[in-house]
Structure 1
C-alpha cells in the first residue's frame, strides 16, 4: 500500500489489484500542501464518488486512504502541483506518460479512470477522446474517461457528474 504523506508531492493511495484507480491530472496546490487528494474547497470528487455508489458514506479528504477499503485508489498523471491543470504543458504530460504507465502496470488495477480528457489525450497522442470506456487499455487496465470534478469545471453539474461516475461504478461492479 502507498499512502504515506511525503512533503515533496501528493502521495498515491494505491495497493496492488484494486478494482479501480482514479487518476487526476495533477495535484492542486491545497492538495499538495495538505498531502490529501481532492482537498480543494470547491472540488466535488468526494461527494460525487459517494453519491455514485463507490463509498457508503462521503469520505473527507484527510481520510483519503480509506478509499482503499472500497477497492479504489488515487493517483495523478503528473506529480507537479499547480493552481490549475491548464498550467501544465502538453509536453510535460507526455513526458510523464511512461512512468505513469509503469505505475498502472505495477499496481494492476482492473480499471483506471482519467478525470478529464487532458492527461489521457496527451499520453495517448489521441486528440478526439470520448467520455466513458476507451477502446484501448492503459497499462493493462481498462481505461475510462470521466468529467473532472473540480469546482472550476462548471460545464458539469453535480447531478451530471454523479450520473457519469455511476456509469463507471456499474461497469466496475458488473465485472467483479
Structure 2
C-alpha cells in the first residue's frame, strides 16, 4: 500500500477510526489516539514503525503478525482496540489534558458496557491523565471498572525508545498470562 500524501494526512486531522470491539473480550487494547496514518487507512496502529502488531505476536496474543488491515481478526482471539481520545492528530502531545479526562470518562462507559476481562491502556502518561492516577506505573492497576481489570502497557510507538519490542513483548506477555 502506498504511503498517503501530505494532503491526505492533513485532511485526516481530527477524524476518527472505528473501534474493533465486541462484548466480553478477553482484552480491550486502548491506544492514546489515532495517528493521521491510522485515520487515512482506517486501521489502528497503522504508522510504519509502530510496534503494536509485532509485539502482539511476540507476546503470544496472536499466532502470527497481523497487518493493520487485518485488525478485524483480533476479535477471533478475544481482543479488541479502542482509543482514549477518538480524534486523530499528528502527535499525541496535540491532545489536551481536558480531552484526556473526557476520553477517560467515555472509555469507562464503554468498558462498563462491553465488560472485557482487561482494559490494556498502551501509554502510561495517557492513563495517568485520563484516570487521574498521576503515580500510575506500567503493569496491573488497583483500579477496576466493574469486573474489568486495568493494565497499563508501554506505548508501542517507534518514538518510545525506552522500550524495545522484546521488552514490550515481555510486559504484554504478563498481561496475556493474567488474561488466561
TM over 0.5, yes or no? yes
Instruction: Pick the aligned partner of 1:82 from 84, 89, 109.
Output: 89
2-side partners of 1:139 and 1:67: how far apart?
Answer: 23
1:11-62 deviations in whole A, cap 9, x for unaligned? Answer: 0000000010000010011001110011000000000001100011111100
* Correspondence for 2:165: 158
Retained in 2: the 8 A contact 1:22–1:115?
yes
* Correspondence for 2:27: 20
Local SS of the residue matching 1:136: strand
Question: 1:167, CA displacement in angstroms?
Answer: 0.8
* Correspondence for 1:4: none
Instruction: Pick the aligned partner of 1:39 from 41, 46, 50.
Output: 46
* Correspondence for 2:75: 68
Give aligned pairs, total: 167
Question: 1:130, CA displacement in angstroms?
Answer: 1.2
* Correspondence for 1:143: 150
Question: 1:79, CA displacement in angstroms?
Answer: 0.5
Question: 1:124, CA displacement in angstroms?
Answer: 1.8
Post-superposition, which runs of at least 4 consecutive aligned residues in structure 1 deviate over 3 A? none
TM normalised by structure 1 equals: 0.91
Unaligned runs of 5+ in 2: 1-11
Retained in 2: the 8 A contact 1:101–1:139?
no
Local SS of the residue matching 1:114: strand
Local SS of the residue matching 1:135: strand
Unaligned runs of 5+ in 1: 1-6
Question: 1:155, CA displacement in angstroms?
Answer: 0.8
2-side partners of 1:150 and 1:131: how far apart?
Answer: 15
